[in-house]
Amino acid sequence: MVVSDTTAITSLLKIGEAGLLRMLFKEVVIPRAVQRELLSYHAVLPTWLIVQTVSIDEARWNLLTLLDSGEVEAGDSEICVHRPSPI
């Protein structure tokens, strides 16, 4: 399993190689913030992406002033993962 931010997926989508992530990793998990970012650039996302809600403590949430929400959620090493939902 891998938790991805927007950059890796959008770069692979642009060159038509998003399937490489699925070949390398059994599961590709993205936080909801990453899903929102991806959908702002791409009309359709791969159906195999697993979207999960994460909870972030207040200190990490404050990082949003420096980073975007997808980077914070995907890069948080202590994320608490909740129910997955299809895209």
Label the pairing between strands 80-85 and 2-3.
unpaired
11: CB partners within 8 A, 6+ apart:
none
Residue 49 near residue 28, CB atoms below 8 Å: yes
- pTM above the 0.75 mark? no
Judged by average pLDDT, the poorest of 9-13, 52-56, 75-79 is 75-79
Looking at the predicted structure, is the pLDDT value of residue 1 above 80? no
- pLDDT for 18-70, tens place per residue? 999 999 988 888 888 889 999 999 999 999 999 988 776 665 655 555 566 56
